[in-house]
Amino acid sequence: MRSIDDNLQAVRQRINRAAQAAGRDPRSVTLLAVSKTHSADLVGRALAAGQRAFGENYVQEALEKMDVLQGKPAGKSIEWHLIGPLQNNKTRLVAGRFDWVHTIDNEKVARRLSDQRPAGLAPLNVLIQVNVSAEVSKSGVAPGSVAALAAAVSALPRLQLRGLMAIPEPGAHADRYRELKSLYEGLKSKFGFDTLSLGMSDDLELAIAEGATMVRIGTAIFGAREKIRPAA
């Protein structure tokens, strides 16, 4: 069985090859290790292998891992990203403990996060989730609504709007990725975007070819999910 360290090296090599094939600097792509449903022990192994950014879907599960890992030598260097839907009753916890939120899709949640972000912390980094494939089962705003939401979110004092996130449907044509890249580029200068969170284990090469600056990789690093989905 391959180790977490081996898996991370293999994923980084994929990122490097994909970036080079696209004529991009591999350093322009951030690897976010998606650790949802995986134990704090596995996250600790990835941490020991040099990984620092981790993505979680479920708030309570993430908080439990934070509490376990903060005592590790490198635990305080972890950058925690919420990549799952955010309920109104969890915004205070997220505002106080996470570094990034990828799933902003309405002004109300964004305003609550800004109001609840502790003054002693840096502004919370946020991304607007775009439902680029118009899937009923997925969260996110329609591409045509992104600019208005970006204007509202960028005005909130305790948030730092960094860019866009999307999850194209499995097997999506490259045009879906190009649509998101075009939207991102069209708003980049106005709002100071620097992050396009796009691509997972099965499509990271396509995502990087189409401009992703952050890829969210879970299975290729940690393997199959360890346990049943926990409560959010």
pLDDT digits (tens, 9 = 90+) for 181-213: 999 999 999 999 999 999 999 999 999 999 999
Taking all residues of the chain, what is their mean pLDDT, rounded to a whole number?
Answer: 93
CA–CA gap between residue 60 and residue 52 (Å, rounded): 20
CA–CA gap between residue 186 and residue 183 (Å, rounded): 5
Residue 2 confidence (pLDDT): 76
- With 90 as the cut, is the pLDDT of residue 9 above it? yes
What percent of the chain shows pLDDT beyond 70? 95
CA distances to 77, 192, 215 from 218, rounded to whole Å, are: 20, 28, 10
Mean pLDDT of the 16-45 span: 97
Residue 228 confidence (pLDDT): 41
Segment 53-56 long-range contacts (CB within 8 Å, at least 24 positions apart): 53/78, 53/79, 53/81, 54/78, 54/79, 54/80, 54/81, 55/81, 55/82, 55/83, 55/102, 55/216, 55/218, 56/80, 56/81, 56/82, 56/83, 56/84
Residue 227 confidence (pLDDT): 55
Confidence (pTM): 0.94
Cβ atoms of residues 179 and 166 within 8 Å? no
Residue 223 confidence (pLDDT): 87
Beta bridge partners of 163: 127, 195
Residue 136 confidence (pLDDT): 65
Residue given tokens 């350093």 in the structure block: 27
- With 60 as the cut, is the pLDDT of residue 54 above it? yes
Residue 137 confidence (pLDDT): 67
Higher pLDDT: 76 or 188? It is: 188
